[in-house]
């Protein structure tokens, strides 16, 4: 797989050594057990896969190269490059300005842009309407496009099934940038509908089978269907694709459920879709499942609070043990106090006594696909600072290097 040039300040000697060693031991990526780092009084089990994925590294390389190759030019990002606050802040420090937030609210109006400006498309992609707007302003929307190839794969899959007269059902978060982009591209080829979870799939069942007033559909799924959506015609044949960062098990459950319902109408009513989650999402979720086979006291998940793929790793961990979702090491205030994101109510809270009082504490740890390895290393350093008698990072790194 291609390697990318990313800034050194995102890298971690410790994490690089761990990943290199695991890759040598498990070239086919069949072993999803965690990596044990035994520091004595604290033991950290790192997930087999975590951190920057192909699409994120690709986007970061393009963005920083764009900055370096265009001194003196005004450079803009449509919105956040990826869902990591440090990476977005770093780009802003390099003079990159954001045109809008992740919900589409403008910080800078289109009228302020000039034809000689550079606009970078984020890793999530963008809508066709936005691309057309940039073109109308004389700005090339392709030259500095960092859209993840795996997102584009979903668009291609949507096009394939759309051209065969299947309505496209998108499993995703309706207000997420990637889902909005996918919806825009899929709607170019077929009627489209976004459903966010299995509950909405169950709601859709009554319309698929004609068991409910069709007009109620337009109220129940308001804002989630394409213009001109005709429930009488557009729910006869369907196919399912997804936002690449959703839980694989959820997407599969939705696809199986809808296939079972629509198949009652006859053959060829459900498109032969393949799972469109990216490899990194699958690997990271499988690695968390493998990590959770370890007995531990708590889990720490590191990543941006608006990161979809990270939130799903948190969901998996929460099923088994106390889980703390943090952006970076600064959230570890002490060995007694932690600031962490309460995902279900969307706000940060403080928890006391998060580390148990015992002779050996076991922590499971992972991070999202947009989280730099340097932040994970910093979290480990911060945890170790609470245990003066713990072995050093250098000692553990040396041991890993010797075992290569």
Q: What is the pLDDT of residue 120?
A: 97
Query: Containing H/E element for 360?
Result: none
CATH code for the domain in which residue 49 is found: 3.40.1010.20
Say whether both 46 and 63 belong to one domain. Answer: no
Say whether both 243 and 340 belong to one domain. Answer: no
- Domain limits at 358? 8-53+279-402
Residue 79 contacts residue 102 (beta carbons within 8 Å): yes
CATH code for the domain in which residue 80 is found: 3.40.50.11270
The one-digit pLDDT tens for each residue of the chain (404 residues) are 678 999 999 999 999 999 999 999 898 888 999 999 999 999 999 999 999 999 999 999 999 999 999 999 999 999 999 999 999 999 999 999 999 998 889 999 999 999 999 999 999 999 999 999 999 999 999 999 999 999 999 999 999 999 999 999 999 999 999 999 999 999 999 999 999 999 999 999 999 998 889 899 999 999 999 999 999 999 999 999 999 999 988 999 999 999 999 999 888 999 977 767 788 888 999 999 999 999 999 999 999 999 999 999 999 999 999 999 999 999 999 999 999 999 989 999 999 999 999 999 999 999 999 999 999 999 999 999 999 999 988 887 776 656 54
Residue 50 contacts residue 287 (beta carbons within 8 Å): yes
Residue 323: strand, helix, or coil: strand
Judge whether 350 counts as a catalytic residue: no
Which of 43, 57, 80, 178 is labelled catalytic?
178
Q: How many helices (H) and strands (E) does the chain have?
A: 14, 13
| CB neighbours of residue 111 within 10 Å | 6
Q: Does 274 fall in a domain?
A: no
What gap in Å lies between CA 285 and CA 289, rounded to an integer? Answer: 6
Is the pTM higher than 0.75? yes
Q: What is the pLDDT of residue 68?
A: 95
Q: What is the pLDDT of residue 152?
A: 95
Question: Which residues pair with residue 171 across a beta bridge?
Answer: 195, 242
What gap in Å lies between CA 220 and CA 200, rounded to an integer? Answer: 9
Say whether both 211 and 226 belong to one domain. Answer: yes
Q: Does 143 fall in a domain?
A: no
Nearest to 372 by CA among 288, 308, 310, 315: 310
Give me the number of domains the chain comprises.
3
Say whether both 162 and 253 belong to one domain. Answer: yes
Domain boundary among 107, 136, 165: 136
Say whether both 164 and 235 belong to one domain. Answer: yes
Q: Does 3 fall in a domain?
A: no
């Amino acid at each position: 797989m291609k390697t990318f040039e990313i800034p050194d300040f995102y890298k971690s000697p410790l994490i690089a050594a761990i990943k290199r060693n695991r890759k040598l031991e498990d070239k086919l990526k069949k072993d999803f057990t965690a990596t044990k780092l035994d520091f004595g009084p604290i033991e950290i089990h790192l997930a087999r896969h975590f951190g920057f994925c192909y699409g994120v590294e690709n986007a970061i390389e393009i963005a920083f190269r764009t900055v370096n190759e265009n001194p003196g030019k005004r450079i803009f990002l449509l919105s956040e490059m990826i869902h990591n606050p440090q990476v977005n802040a770093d780009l802003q420090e390099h003079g990159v300005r954001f045109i809008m937030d992740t919900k589409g609210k403008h910080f800078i109006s289109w009228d302020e842009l000039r034809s000689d400006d550079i606009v970078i498309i984020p890793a999530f992609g963008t809508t066709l309407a936005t691309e057309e707007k940039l073109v109308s302003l004389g700005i090339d929307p392709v030259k500095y496009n960092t859209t993840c190839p795996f997102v584009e794969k979903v668009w291609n899959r949507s096009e394939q099934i759309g051209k065969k007269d299947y309505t496209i059902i998108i499993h995703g978060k309706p207000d997420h940038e990637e889902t909005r982009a996918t919806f825009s591209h899929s709607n170019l080829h077929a009627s489209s509908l976004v459903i966010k979870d299995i509950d909405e799939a169950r709601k859709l069942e009554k319309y698929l089978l004609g068991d409910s007033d069709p007009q109620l559909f337009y109220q129940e799924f308001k804002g989630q269907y394409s213009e001109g959506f005709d429930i009488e015609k557009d729910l006869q044949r369907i196919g399912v694709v997804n936002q690449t960062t959703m839980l694989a098990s959820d997407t599969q459950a939705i696809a199986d459920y809808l296939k079972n319902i629509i198949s009652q109408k006859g053959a060829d009513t459900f498109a032969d879709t393949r799972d469109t989650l990216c490899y990194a999402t699958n690997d990271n979720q499988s690695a968390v499942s493998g990590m959770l086979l370890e007995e531990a006291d708590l889990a720490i998940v590191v990543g941006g609070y608006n990161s979809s793929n990270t939130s799903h790793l948190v969901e998996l961990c929460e099923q088994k043990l106390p889980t703390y979702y943090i952006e970076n090491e600064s959230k570890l205030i002490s060995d007694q106090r932690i600031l962490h994101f309460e995902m279900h109510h969307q706000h940060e809270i403080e928890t006391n006594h998060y580390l148990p009082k015992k002779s050996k504490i076991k922590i499971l740890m992972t991070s999202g696909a947009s989280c730099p390895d340097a932040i994970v290393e910093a979290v480990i350093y911060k945890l170790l600072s609470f245990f003066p008698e713990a072995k050093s990072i250098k000692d553990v790194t040396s041991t890993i290097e010797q075992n290569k």
